[in-house]
């Protein structure tokens, strides 16, 4: 009669992360997604702002361009719809499948280190916001961002922001 030892180590297989590199997103694909995200943000938010500031002008009664009114009124109205669209679509895609618009276009997504679903809160508050805030610190922020990006060349293909949030980027 064989009785199970209650003090024995568990025999279940523990899977922390994909063991084969075939599931992980290529470095170039991640770079492409990042470039696409930046290009989409430029087209939706910054280009309308540039057009209004560069070509539009609000002229007061004396015939002078009123830059303060232009920047606060028309420029805000030009970039606000694109910004709201970008934020809404990005939130929906990240909530639905862990993807930004660029990641969706190139076929990759962010998941937890154990390949489970990564929540919007984890991706936004843990993975992105701390690194975004540090990037505003002069000199230190630029160096920190460079180190974060260069960490993708490790065998795990995780940047520092991935490691902090316990996320990986895989093919969708």
**What is the average pLDDT across 131-136?**
94
Interatomic CA distance for residues 87 and 128, integer angstroms? 14
Mapped onto helix, strand or coil, the DSSP state of residue 14 is: coil
Q: What's the structural domain count of the chain?
A: 1
Indicate whether 5 belongs to any domain: no
Mapped onto helix, strand or coil, the DSSP state of residue 17 is: coil
Q: What is the largest CA-CA distance in the chain?
A: 102
- At 109, give phi and psi (nearest 5°): -155, 165
Report yes or no: 132 and 125 within 8 Å, Cβ to Cβ: no
Indicate whether 19 belongs to any domain: no
Interatomic CA distance for residues 89 and 103, integer angstroms? 13
What is the domain range of residue 157?
A: 27-171
Q: What percent of the chain has pLDDT over 90?
A: 67
- Residue 109's DSSP bridge partners are 170
pLDDT per position as a tens digit, 80-133: 999 999 999 999 999 999 999 999 999 999 999 999 999 999 999 999 999 999
Report yes or no: 106 and 69 within 8 Å, Cβ to Cβ: no
Confidence of residue 69 (pLDDT cuts 50, 70, 90): low
Q: Does residue 7 carry a pLDDT above 80?
A: yes
């Amino acid at each position: 009669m064989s009785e199970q030892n209650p003090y024995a180590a568990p025999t279940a297989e523990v899977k922390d992360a994909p063991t084969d590199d075939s599931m992980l997103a290529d470095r170039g694909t991640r770079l492409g997604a990042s470039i696409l995200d930046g290009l989409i943000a430029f087209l939706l938010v910054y280009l309308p702002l540039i057009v209004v500031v560069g070509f539009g002008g609000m002229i007061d009664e004396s015939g002078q361009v009123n830059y303060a009114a232009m920047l606060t009124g028309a420029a805000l109205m030009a970039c606000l719809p694109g910004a709201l669209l970008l934020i809404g679509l990005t939130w929906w895609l990240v909530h639905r499948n862990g993807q930004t618009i660029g990641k969706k276009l190139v076929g990759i997504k962010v998941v937890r280190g154990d390949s489970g679903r990564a929540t919007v809160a984890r991706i936004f508050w843990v993975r992105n916001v701390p690194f975004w805030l540090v990037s505003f610190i002069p000199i230190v922020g630029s160096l920190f961002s460079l180190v974060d990006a260069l960490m993708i060349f490790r065998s795990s293909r995780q940047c520092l922001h991935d490691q902090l949030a316990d996320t990986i980027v895989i093919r969708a």
